[in-house]
Structure 1
Amino acid sequence: MSDNAALPADRADLDGLLTWAVIRAARGFETMLTDVLTPYGLTPIQFGALAQLSVEPFLTQAQLAHRILMRPQSANHLLNVLIERGLVQRTGERGSGRPNPVQLTPTGRALLARAWPRVVAANEADALGISDPQHEQLHRIVQGILQLQAADPQR
C-alpha cells in the first residue's frame, strides 16, 4: 500500500470533508463581514467584542475572550486596541488576581449602533444568496455546534 492511498483521490474527496468546507465557508463570511465593517474601522473580531459588551457589559477579559472564542492572552491586544480608540474602557484597578471588567464607552456604543444595521442586513438570507428555509436551517445547525463547543471547549 503506497503512502498516496491515504490522500484524497480527487476534488470530491476534499470537498467531502465537512470541517474543511465549513472553514472555507467561514473564510468567505469573514471576508464579507470585513467588507461591511471596513467603513467603520472595525474587524469582525472587534465588532464581536463590541456587540458582546453591548449585551453583556462588565465582562472580564477572560469572559469576553470565552464569548468571542479567543484565547484570553490574545484578547489583551484586542482590548488594548479598542481602549486606545476610546471604544471600551476598563472599570476596575488592574492588578494580579483582581477582576478588571471592561465596558463600552459612549463612543463605542455609537459606533456599534452605526455598524449594526449594515451587519444585520448582510446576514439576511437574500444577501447571503440562500433561501429563507436554508438560512433558518443553517443558523439552527451553527447554533447547535456553538452550544456543543461552549459545553466542551476541546471540541
Structure 2
Amino acid sequence: MSASAPLLDVNAQPGHAIRRLHQIAVGIFLQETAAHGITPVQYAALQTVHNEPGIDQRTLASRIAQDTSTTAGVVERLQARGWLQREPDPADRRARRLTLTPEGQARLAAVVPDMRRAQARILAPLDPQEQVQFMALLQRLVDANNELSRAPGSVRQSGA
C-alpha cells in the first residue's frame, strides 16, 4: 500500500512565492536596464567594487552572496567589457584587488537610475509604509537564514 501525498497549494508556500518574486524582480531589472546589457549580479559586483575600491575577489563573492567560482566568471566578464580591472595584491600575490575602470564608473552611474526604477516597480504594489515593513521583514529573513545559504553573504553596513 503506497502513501498518498497530500494536496497542497504551492502558491501558499513561502519558498515558491520567493522564487516567483525573484523571477519577477530579475525580469523587471532586465527590462529597466536593457540598454546597458547588465545582469543583477553584474550590477551588484560593480556597485560593491565602487563602494569598496580595492576589494579582493573572495570578499566580493561574500558581499554579493555568490560562490567564488561564479564570482570569478562575473569578474572575468566585467573585465572583458573594460568595466573592471584586477591587480595583484602587493601583500598577497594570490589575491586580486578589484577596481572600476573609468568606463566602469560611467556605466555604473548610467545604470543606477534604471536600477532604482526597477526597484521602485518591484515594490510599487505596496504603499510606502508597507514597502518599509516588507523590506524590514525581508532583511530579517535573509539575516536569520544567511548561514543556511550555499553562499552565505557577509554584508558590510552602508547607506542605501
Same fold (TM over 0.5): yes
Structure 1 ranges of 4+ moved more than 6 A: none
1: CA distance, partners of 2:130 / 2:52: 30
Residues 12-57 of structure 1 show CA distances to partners (whole Å, capped at 9, x for unaligned) of x212211111111111101111111221111111111101111112
For residues 49-128 of structure 1, the aligned pairs below 5 Å read: 49-92=45-88, 98-124=94-120, 128=124
For residues 143-154 of structure 1, the aligned pairs below 5 Å read: 143-150=139-146, 152-154=147-149
Stretch of structure 1 that moved more, 14-23 or 85-94? 85-94
Residues 45-74 of structure 1 show CA distances to partners (whole Å, capped at 9, x for unaligned) of 111110111111212111111111211011
Is 1:17 the counterpart of 2:31? The answer is: no
1: CA distance, partners of 2:143 / 2:73: 26
- SS of 1:70 mapped into structure 2: coil
Percent identity (aligned):
25
Structure whose residues are more often helix by fraction: 1
Q: CA deviation at 1:91?
A: 2.3
Contact kept in structure 1, 2:58 and 2:68, CA below 8 Å: yes
Counterpart of 2:155 in structure 1 is: none
Is 1:31 the counterpart of 2:27? The answer is: yes
Q: 5+ residue gaps in structure 1?
A: none
Structure whose residues are more often strand by fraction: 2
Contact kept in structure 2, 1:121 and 1:127, CA below 8 Å: no
TM-score normalized by structure 2? 0.82
Q: 5+ residue gaps in structure 2?
A: 151-160
Contact kept in structure 2, 1:60 and 1:100, CA below 8 Å: yes
RMSD of aligned C-alpha atoms?
Answer: 2.4
Q: How many residues are paired up?
A: 149
- SS of 1:139 mapped into structure 2: helix
2: CA distance, partners of 1:41 / 1:49: 14
